[in-house]
Structure 1
Amino acid sequence: MATAYGPDTRDSRSPGSGLREQTPVKYFLPAVLRAPLEARTWRELLYVLLSMPLSTVMFVFAITMTSLSAGLLITFIGVPLLAVGLAVCRGFGVLERARARGLLNVDVAEPARVVGKTGGPMSWMGAVLKSGVSWRHLLYTLLHFPWAVFTFVVAVTFWTYGLAALTYPLWQWMFPVYGGIDGIQLYGDRTHAHYLDSPFELAATSAVGLVLVLVSPWIVRGLVSVDRLAVSGLLGPSELAARVSELESDRGVVVDTAAADLRRIERDLHDGAQARLVALAMDLGLAKEKLTDDPEAAARMVDEAHGEVKVALQELRDLARGIHPAVLTDRGLDAALSAIASRCTVPVTVTVDLDSRPAQAIEGIAYFTVSELLQNVSKHAGATRATVDVWRTADRLMLQVTDNGRGGADVATGSGLAGLTERLDAVDGVLVVDSPAGGPTTVTAELPWRG
């Protein structure tokens, strides 16, 4: 079954190779012809044209403030002046991110705000000067100016000459076409002015103009790809800050999940084994009282208590298995998943292809992921069979559970799949659900091998 990982998630071909094989060459020509008329082309050209005046203002401001603050560093004025200059450069970054978002379709996250520890101006000034984001904004204003000048000249030159040559037959009549006028004498030779006025020359000029017009959008597209990289790399949050934010979010998910598991265990103990053991103690107390007066009734009560003990032990075993099954620790995923499959209400085929065992925490998450998915198959899928495949791809552990049920499973509905997605995301894992209405359903999970 095709999933988001492709028809066969264990295919070793490079990503996108199938797409390249399926893209006919005949689709290339219409794309070239459409490019000058696409809205994207004109948005990118507008971005290049606006970059020239904006980068000039930013460059002049950055050079002026940096030079002035450097010259005044010997005094106290230079330090706050530099901090103000960096803060204004961060303001320029807001404008540039908005331009990139609106014209280049590049959505760069806002970097964290600079906040001093004490909230005072001195604390704020120190935070601005120590912020790597602020210095990257200053670097952007300095580097963007020469690049903006280059892209402006290239884009305007190609578009101007291309449009002028393409429309030359429409406006050439406004200029004299006499070709015998003596030109300026250079190096002893006399040049003659020549005008393109014959039908062949007009057609050839228009053809050259058409080629330039068709090429210009792709040249501009290549130029603004550098702008995309610059905006993303210099004006966004640092990788460390983004990773810290992601880890903080993941930590919250892990804490919430652990708290939910503890509440579940407490509830299962209170409503299950604990209640049975309390009832068992009461029954044994009554049997003890009747032992001398009515031995037969006492024997029946002891026999019933024996049955309650067996049920309580089974519930405790199930609860222990839900916390961390012994078979997973002793024998690994293959045996543990086979044990889960044997308890499923539909026949399940389990295939585990692993040359070694992953990290213990990852192994536990993989076990509970398959357990939850098979429970969904039993309760909601209406399936008659299911398969579980587990394999390793490089440094990733892959799980895939497929059933032939009614389909329609959706992570967005807030079901158990949403909880599984959060659990996997907390360890840099991914859960992909492919469940069209009418089935079948394929759920693929990807986990790091070592956590």
Structure 2
Amino acid sequence: MTARSGSPGGAPTNSIGFPTGSADSLTGSAGSPGDDDRPPPVRPAYAPQTWREIGYLLLNLPYVLMGFVYAVCTTALGVALSVTVVGVPLLVLGLAGARGLGRAERARARALLGVRIDEPSPLNGRKGGHRPQGPLNRLWTGLKDPVAWRTVLFSFMRLPWGAVTFAVTLVGLLVFWPVLPYVARALANADRAMVRGLLSPSDELERRIAELESDRGVVVDTAAADLRRIERDLHDGAQARLVALAMGLGLAKEKLLEDPEAAAGMVDEAHGEVKLALQELRDLARGIHPAVLTDRGLDAALSAVASRCTVPVVVSVDLPERPAEAIEGIAYFTVSELLQNVSKHSAARAASVDVWRTDDRLLIQVRDDGRGGARPAGGTGMAGLAERLGAVDGLFVCDSPPGGPTVVTAELPWRRRPGA
């Protein structure tokens, strides 16, 4: 008996009687070029994420009821009592509580909807360990808190939506459960959009707030360090010399009649001490704000700094006008610190300083042909310079490969001098 090699319909069969190519027709050939073009698998209708979305929608009603009642009571009571001394503080406390409601809603959205939202920055400068503001400033900051007011708006808007989503989801579980996953997904997507729109911090604003808080701490710390340095220099330098000078003049006064020659020698010694004390005071004043910078501007002041450098320095200042005093001072001390580094650490033979303006930025570039390898964290003071520049929206970039050259570029905002 001869075995037939075809299927009933004429198609060839394999050894067990199935038509050859039937598996390929159902699943596709293994390794065929079309494998990568096949659509991704569809999520099962009642997958775990679907149940989380359904749970979120069912929790909408109790959450929005709590938020709505809280928002109505606190805002209405605060506004009604605003004519009294307790109204505004009460409203501020209510807004602070609204922040807590927003935090709870963001946590619920993260857990059930998978929406990742950053927490907004705290109020009153608490971030970074800074001391809070005064009572009136704290009240005003809390009263205009955009995060809290957006949460209040969220609570008002969500009341009808929460009732609708709760009712639709509950009825869907009992009546039209085959299509409920698709309905729940659509409703949950609308919830995601509302949470992102009203409970997310403004990225640019929040980033700016964080930067300003950090910059304020840098400015405060820098100012305190400068005051301590000035106090130490006065105490250990000019003050000590003046005390010795007073004692020497007192002794000379006592010996003036008894031993005029000895008194004259003591007066000469005191005269030398006066000169040293004056020089130390000039150096101290130059470290605070040099007179040449005030009188003649950056070009003359930087030339004076360059003349004290142990390396020959070429200075080029191309500015159409003088910037604001604060910016001018920061530029001066930046170049002064960098040239000190050139003198102490670079082993360079030549250096240059270029200062110019581009649009609304003041640019400084200090270059030397030394051995390179400079790093902001290398103990040369550049980390402090970077912090000071950052505190006024400036930039600090150091390019110093081993073997040199070293090029440091600093950028400051251009601010016009008042009256210019």
TM-score, reference length from structure 2: 0.60
Note if contact 1:114-1:131 (Cα within 8 Å) is conserved in structure 2. Answer: no
User: Which letter maps to 1:130?
Assistant: A
User: Which letter maps to 2:401?
Assistant: P
- Alpha carbons of structure 1 residues 84 and 269: separation in structure 2 relative to 1, 3 Å: closer
User: Which letter maps to 1:270?
Assistant: H
Secondary structure at 2:411 match in 1: strand
Match of 2:120 in 1: 111
Note if contact 1:291-1:298 (Cα within 8 Å) is conserved in structure 2. Answer: yes
Note if contact 1:265-1:319 (Cα within 8 Å) is conserved in structure 2. Answer: yes
Match of 1:340 in 2: 305
Match of 2:106 in 1: 90
Match of 1:176 in 2: none
Distance, in Å, in 2 between the alignment partners of 1:71 and 1:256 is 47
Q: CA deviation at 1:395?
A: 1.0
User: Which letter maps to 2:106?
Assistant: R
The within-5 A match list for 1:52-451 is 87=103, 89-91=105-107, 94=110, 109-112=118-121, 130=148, 132=150, 235-236=200-201, 238-450=203-415
Note if contact 1:353-1:392 (Cα within 8 Å) is conserved in structure 2. Answer: yes
Q: CA deviation at 1:112?
A: 4.1
Distance, in Å, in 1 between the alignment partners of 2:292 and 2:284 is 14
Distance, in Å, in 2 between the alignment partners of 1:396 and 1:371 is 20
Give structure 2 stretches of 5+ with no counterpart: 1-34, 75-97, 125-144, 159-164, 166-184
Distance, in Å, in 2 between the alignment partners of 1:76 and 1:133 is 11
Note if contact 2:289-2:329 (Cα within 8 Å) is conserved in structure 1. Answer: yes
Note if contact 1:424-1:447 (Cα within 8 Å) is conserved in structure 2. Answer: yes
User: Which letter maps to 2:364?
Assistant: L
Note if contact 1:112-1:237 (Cα within 8 Å) is conserved in structure 2. Answer: no
Q: CA deviation at 1:327?
A: 1.5
Secondary structure at 2:365 match in 1: strand
- Alpha carbons of structure 1 residues 387 and 128: separation in structure 2 relative to 1, 3 Å: closer
- Alpha carbons of structure 1 residues 72 and 363: separation in structure 2 relative to 1, 3 Å: closer
Distance, in Å, in 1 between the alignment partners of 2:348 and 2:63 is 72
**Quick one: higher RCO (CA 8 Å, sep 6+), 1 or 2?**
1
Give structure 1 stretches of 5+ with no counterpart: 1-35, 38-44, 101-107, 116-126, 150-226
Deviation string 1:61-100 (CA, Å, 9 cap, x unpaired) is 66666677778999789989x9998555402554699887
Distance, in Å, in 2 between the alignment partners of 1:341 and 1:129 is 51
- Alpha carbons of structure 1 residues 273 and 96: separation in structure 2 relative to 1, 3 Å: farther
Secondary structure at 1:392 match in 2: strand
User: Which letter maps to 2:399?
Assistant: D
More deviation in 86-95 or 283-292? 86-95
Distance, in Å, in 1 between the alignment partners of 2:401 and 2:68 is 70
Distance, in Å, in 2 between the alignment partners of 1:77 and 1:338 is 64
Distance, in Å, in 1 between the alignment partners of 2:113 and 2:315 is 50
Count of residue correspondences: 308
- Alpha carbons of structure 1 residues 73 and 253: separation in structure 2 relative to 1, 3 Å: closer
Q: CA deviation at 1:286?
A: 2.2
- Alpha carbons of structure 1 residues 443 and 113: separation in structure 2 relative to 1, 3 Å: closer
The within-5 A match list for 1:37-48 is none
Q: CA deviation at 1:294?
A: 2.6
- Alpha carbons of structure 1 residues 424 and 317: separation in structure 2 relative to 1, 3 Å: same
User: Which letter maps to 1:425?
Assistant: G
User: Which letter maps to 1:423?
Assistant: R
CA RMSD across the alignment: 4.7
- Alpha carbons of structure 1 residues 257 and 233: separation in structure 2 relative to 1, 3 Å: farther
Q: Percent identity?
A: 60
Deviation string 1:387-412 (CA, Å, 9 cap, x unpaired) is 11111121111111111112221112
